[in-house]
Structure 1
Amino acid sequence: MTLAFLSLSALAPSRLLAASPREITWDDLIPPGVPYSEIIGQGEIDELNDTWVPLFDENATKLNDALNGTLIRMPGYIIPLEFSGDGVTEFILVPYVGACIHVPPPPANQLVLVRTEKAWPSNQLWEAVWVTGTLRTELLSTDLAQIGYTLRSEEIEVYEW
């Protein structure tokens, strides 16, 4: 019986044997017990640029350590950072269109830096996407924002509504 099972499992596609990613939402990136309403303080108006600049408290950099090292799948939008001839190879995954570009950035625990071997086509930058890969809690800064998570992408696909 054991020999028969081993023979069958050798024939099964390796993808079936791999772990399925945990589908998460942006709320999952905030540690349990930290209400989103307590992350953003009063803020101030930047009259020169006609924008609202939120003031984040210390909760903005609190990360959900329970997700560190977890294979996840999550939706979001792409803010490109690095390009190759085939498209975007590094980007910030954000929860809504235009975050970090037209408006002040979300808090660090609402941003994911994604690196991918397979470039995402430049002509699909404004589409919502699903990103699958291993999530890491890693606080870092870029010119655009402070980021709380990194992810090595295994798959990127268009988000189907």
Structure 2
Amino acid sequence: MLNRRRMLTLLSGSVMAPTVGFAATPREIVWDDLIPKGVPYSQIIGEGELDEINDLWNPIYDANGVKLNEDLDGAYIKMPGYIIPLEVGAKGVKEFMLVPYVGACIHTPPPPANQLVMVTTALPWPGDNLWGAVWVTGVIRTQLQSTNLGQIGYSIAAEEMELYKW
């Protein structure tokens, strides 16, 4: 026979059980999603000037290049991109910029801030897998910050990373 206390215990366990073991499904986004609605991609690309002394191209972005999609702040997302390591250790990369195309910020001028994502991960990404595209899953934040490679508009604390499969 079930008494009241035992019945409440059983019911509370069944109410809690469905939430255990169900992980949130990340929202899959692409680079265009980082640009706020109403700002055309063509308006985030800036002109620039050549620094002949240092052999560098210095892009000049207008205000549209730093406009961020605030609707994404705090969202659990999954997005593809390429790794620009900020520091490579013996176990791999723990901090890097996620960029929309191979070589961004290295051989070409950096994209605007709303096309760059700073990623930190507790689990290092192997240093021998730096040239392929990756999926990064985690919570994205809108956060303007400057580095020596460019101004960055977003950050992700990566919970999971995997090779991007075409």
Same fold (TM over 0.5): yes
Count of residues paired in the alignment: 158
Q: Percent of aligned pairs with the same residue?
A: 62
Given the two structures, how large is their TM-score scaled by the length of structure 1? 0.88
Q: How does 1:124-135 map to 2 (within 5 A)?
A: 124-135=129-140
2:109 to 104, 107, 112: 104
Question: What's the Cα RMSD here?
Answer: 2.4
Instruction: Could you tell me which runs of 5 or more consecutive residues in structure 1 were left unpaired when the two chains were aligned.
Output: none
Given the two structures, how large is their TM-score scaled by the length of structure 2? 0.85
Instruction: Specify the code of the residue in structure 2 equivalent to 1:83.
Output: V
Instruction: Specify the code of the residue in structure 1 equivalent to 2:89.
Output: S
Q: How does 1:1-161 map to 2 (within 5 A)?
A: 7=14, 10=17, 14=21, 17-47=22-52, 52-161=57-166
Instruction: Specify the code of the residue in structure 2 equivalent to 1:121.
Output: P
**Alpha-carbon distance between aligned partners in 2 of 1:62 and 1:134, rounded to the nearest angstrom:** 19
- Residue deviations 1:50-75, cap 9 Å, x none? 66543210111110000000000000
- Distance of aligned partners of 1:144 and 1:52 in 2 relative to their CA distance in 1, 3 Å threshold: closer
Instruction: Could you tell me which runs of 5 or more consecutive residues in structure 2 were left unpaired when the two chains were aligned.
Output: 1-9
User: 2:36 is paired with a residue of what secondary structure?
Assistant: coil
- Residue deviations 1:29-48, cap 9 Å, x none? 00001111112233234445
Instruction: Specify the code of the residue in structure 2 equivalent to 1:118.
Output: L
